[in-house]
């Protein structure tokens, strides 16, 4: 029972095998892709493993505190920044192996030519709330 | 109305419905409905016979649902022919429910969810909150689990070990919400302890009691971890410790040692020490030797290495640690601690940083980072 984040990147992940941007797909290919993604989420809900899924706009702003009584400073978006997150899915699964299996399935979503995109997804474990750990004597 | 008391009736009510011929999944839904109804109605009209009331309402709900489902009409006819029996609530039914909900065909998370609902009487919402997943996801997890075990015969003997693993998971994992899962695990284990004579059930109950007795002292008000050696032992729950020790002693006298009894024995030795310095580490190492023999678990070997470090000195602890695979969680934290005890403070500080990086929880990460800071700032103090 552990939660994992499946991160999808606009930029920053290694190149996919079937690396054709969506604007060069056919209408049918886009429809098939969306159907696959919806099916995937629906299937995870049925298996009791789905927690959350969201997509993000590529346009972001950096914000920071600028001192007492001053409005926050904003900057960006930075066209050159290395990492750009496109969205995520959160899953709650029994094992790491299951998380890898599901990430693999999500990465098989069809793209150009109806073929799997083979997109690289980043799999990140959540830090947990502190659990009861019986008899662990580390300091 | 005491909700815990109400929920404690869940397994026997469910057992009665199943004995009357209701299938497990439908009976479980009906019992949930009856519990919700009881919470609504009882405060104004407390029943004279709470269990009888629940059985009646749940049975009516089950029949209503069966009637509504035309596909089930055939079965409905059959169950309605059954005489309305009022068999003594048998301990056996409760035990069968534990076996069913921890059936080996279920994944651990499914078994946990089903046990909490069907045996514990928790609502799907409460279970979802406890494990931080959406209610819809938890509902699916539970109904899937019910489908998985629907073909299992109710009176089939089960495996106590799988039940204990599920209860142990309930005790050790889970987050927040309005249910205290550790207390719930103790309640369910206590009930199992009453239903079956088995030294490992006693061992697990003792382990939970002895561990939970220290619960209040294990974290500071800000949520940070307080290591065992620094806990305020005056605030340990002595009633729980006394009960745990007594349950354990009776179990150990049976001379059928198992891993939960051995873990409980270690917890008892900690509970027994008035100060951290008085801890009987030599005996604790002996119990870890037993645990290694019983489980051959690398996590146990790691804990044993730390205990050896206390009993025979940090060099001996480091030597024992050398045999623990690098991949075992918290190994680096243990190495940092043993190096610190051995006086190698700069190595220890570096290892604490590394351990913090690998920590599985935020509280542990902060704790380990503070250990590094403590060593890095010692000259400036």
- Evaluate if residue B137 carries a pLDDT over 70: yes
Inter-chain contact A1–B131, Cβ cutoff 8 Å?
A: yes
Q: What number of other Cβ atoms are within 10 A of residue A120's Cβ?
A: 16
Cβ B173–A47 below 8 Å, yes or no? no
Regarding whether B83 and B1 lie in a shared domain, the answer is yes
- Indicate whether A38 belongs to any domain: yes
Percent of chain B with pLDDT over 70: 92
A48/B137 touch (CB, cutoff 8 Å), yes or no = yes
- List the single residue in A48, A52, A138 with the smallest CB-CB distance to B138: A48
Smallest Cα distance from B199 to chain A, Å: 19
**Which residue in A has a C-alpha nearest to residue B335's C-alpha?**
A138
What is the total residue count of chain B?
381
What CATH number should be reported for the domain holding residue A19? 3.30.70.1060
> Contact B111/B94 with Cβ under 8 angstroms?
no
Q: Give buried/exposed letters for A44-62 (b at 16+ CB in 10 A, else e).
A: bbebbbbbebeeeeeeeee
Residue that is last in its domain, among B186, B218, B244:
B186
Can you give the pLDDT at residue B224?
85
> What integer pLDDT is reported at residue B174 of this predicted model?
67
Task: Tell me if B310 is assigned to some domain.
Answer: no
Helix axes B91-101, B160-172, angle to 10 degrees: 70
The whole-number pLDDT of residue A123 equals: 97
Average pLDDT, chain B: 90
Band of pLDDT at residue B287, cut at 50, 70 and 90:
very high
Q: Do residues B206 and B268 make contact, with C-beta atoms less than 8 angstroms apart?
A: yes
Q: Which residue has the higher pLDDT, B124 or A12?
A: B124
Residue A50: list chain B partners with CB under 8 A.
Answer: 133-134, 137
With contacts defined as CB-CB under 8 Å, which chain B residues touch A51? 132-134, 137
pLDDT at position A42: 92
Query: Considering the domain boundaries, does residue A100 fall inside one?
Result: yes
Per the CB < 8 Å rule, is B330 touching A136? yes
Nearest CA distance, A131 vs chain B (angstrom): 6
- Contact between A137 and B306 using a beta-carbon 8 Å cutoff: yes
CB contact under 8 A, B211 and A52: no
CB-CB neighbours of A19 under 10 Å: 12
The DSSP H or E segment spanning A52 is strand A50-55
Per the structure, the complete domain to which residue A95 belongs is given by 2-125
Residue B1 has pLDDT above 70, yes or no: no
Structure confidence by residue, pLDDT tens digits, B26-48: 999 999 999 989 988 998 998 99
pLDDT in tens, A4-15: 999 999 888 888
Cα–Cα distance list, B150 to A48, B95, B255 (Å): 18, 17, 37
Give the mutation candidate from A45, A50, A132 for the B interface (greatest B CB count, under 10 A).
A132
| Minimum CA–CA partner of B224 in chain A | A130
Report the domain count for chain B.
3
Q: Averaged over A106-129, what is the pLDDT? A: 93
Is B267 a domain residue? yes
Residue B52 CA to residue B46 CA, distance in Å, equals 12
pLDDT band at A78; cut points 50, 70, 90? confident
* Contact predicate A78/A98, CB 8 Å: no
Q: How many structural domains are present in chain A? A: 1
User: What's the pLDDT at B152?
Assistant: 84
* Domain range for B48: 1-88
Helix (H) or strand (E) holding A2: strand A2-11
Pick from B109, B136, B340: which is nearest to A94 by CB?
Answer: B109
Contact B109 A48 (CB under 8 A): yes
Crossing angle between the packed helical segments B259-272 and B281-295, to the nearest 10 degrees: 170
Q: How far apart are CA A114 and CA B241, in angstroms?
A: 64
Residue B245 three-state SS:
helix
B-chain residue closest to A94, CA distance: B109
């Amino acid at each position: 029972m552990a939660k994992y984040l499946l991160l999808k990147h606009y930029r920053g992940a290694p190149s996919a095998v079937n690396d054709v941007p969506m604007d060069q797909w056919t209408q049918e290919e886009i429809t098939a892709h969306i159907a696959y993604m919806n099916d995937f989420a629906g299937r995870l809900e049925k298996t009791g493993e789905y927690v959350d899924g969201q997509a993000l706009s590529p346009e972001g702003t950096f914000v920071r505190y600028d001192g007492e009584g001053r409005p926050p400073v904003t900057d960006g978006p930075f066209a050159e920044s290395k990492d750009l997150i496109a969205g995520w899915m959160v899953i709650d699964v029994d094992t790491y192996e299951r998380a890898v299996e599901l990430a693999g399935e999500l990465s098989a979503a069809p793209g150009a030519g109806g073929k799997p995109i083979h997109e690289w997804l980043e799999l990140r474990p959540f830090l947990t709330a502190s659990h009861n750990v019986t008899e662990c004597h580390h300091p | 109305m005491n909700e815990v008391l109400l929920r404690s009736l869940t397994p026997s009510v469910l057992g009665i419905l199943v004995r009357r011929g209701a299938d497990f999944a439908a009976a479980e839904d009906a019992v949930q409905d009856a519990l919700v109804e009881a919470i609504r109605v009882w405060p104004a009209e407390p029943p004279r016979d709470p269990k009888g009331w629940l059985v009646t309402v749940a049975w009516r709900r089950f029949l209503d649902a069966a009637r509504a489902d035309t596909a089930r009409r055939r079965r409905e006819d059959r169950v309605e022919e059954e005489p309305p029996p009022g068999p003594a609530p048998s301990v056996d039914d409760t035990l069968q429910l534990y076996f069913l909900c921890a059936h080996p065909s279920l994944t651990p998370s499914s078994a946990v969810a089903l046990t909490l609902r069907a045996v514990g009487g928790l609502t799907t919402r409460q279970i979802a909150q406890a494990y931080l997943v959406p209610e819809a996801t938890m509902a699916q997890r539970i109904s899937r689990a019910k489908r998985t075990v629907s073909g299992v015969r109710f009176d089939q003997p089960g495996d106590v070990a799988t039940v204990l693993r599920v209860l142990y998971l309930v005790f050790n994992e889970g987050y927040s919400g309005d249910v205290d899962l550790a207390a719930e695990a103790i309640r369910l284990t206590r009930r199992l302890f009453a239903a079956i004579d088995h030294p490992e059930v006693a061992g697990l109950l003792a382990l939970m009691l002895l561990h939970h007795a220290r619960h209040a002292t294990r974290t500071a008000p800000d949520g940070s971890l307080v290591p065992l050696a620094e806990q305020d032992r005056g605030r340990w729950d002595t009633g729980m410790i006394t009960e745990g020790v007594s349950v354990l002693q009776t179990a150990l006298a049976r001379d059928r040692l198992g891993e939960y009894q051995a873990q409980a024995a270690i917890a008892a030795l900690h509970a027994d020490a008035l100060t951290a310095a008085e801890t009987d580490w030599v005996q604790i190492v002996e119990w870890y030797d037993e645990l290694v023999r019983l489980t051959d678990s690398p996590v146990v070997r790691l804990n044993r290495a730390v205990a050896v470090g206390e009993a025979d000195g940090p060099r001996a602890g480091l030597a024992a640690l050398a045999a623990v695979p690098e991949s075992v969680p918290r190994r680096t934290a243990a190495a940092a601690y043993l190096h610190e005890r051995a006086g190698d403070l700069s190595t220890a500080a570096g290892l604490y940083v590394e351990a913090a990086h690998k920590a599985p929880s935020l509280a542990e990460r902060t704790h380990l980072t503070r250990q590094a800071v403590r060593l890095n700032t010692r000259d400036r103090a």
